[in-house]
């Protein structure tokens, strides 16, 4: 569970921003979105393969 303690003389806006940064860094929302809908392992594998091919093409283009 993620939580923050408000420091002395700290505004609520600043505390909320610190909380948002902690949530972003912990990848909590990413995991939540992934778990909302089930994806078959074959779909995940196919998407990973497409991403790797795309990244490799990008690297080849940059090195040329």
Helix (H, G, I), strand (E, B) or coil at 35: helix
pTM for the structure as a whole = 0.55
Q: Contact, 3 vs 22, CB < 8 A? A: no
pLDDT tens digits along 19-45: 999 999 999 899 999 899 999 999 999
Mean pLDDT of 50-64: 89
**How many CB atoms are closer than 10 A to CB 52?**
10
Average pLDDT, the chain: 91
Domain boundaries, the chain: 12-63
Q: Which tokens belong to 53? A: 């091919």
């Amino acid at each position: 569970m993620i939580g923050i303690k408000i420091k002395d003389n700290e505004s609520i806006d600043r505390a909320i921003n610190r909380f948002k940064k902690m949530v972003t860094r912990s990848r909590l929302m990413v995991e939540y979105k992934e778990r909302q809908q089930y994806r078959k392992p074959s779909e995940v594998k196919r998407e990973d393969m497409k991403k790797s091919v795309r990244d490799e093409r990008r690297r080849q283009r940059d090195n040329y």
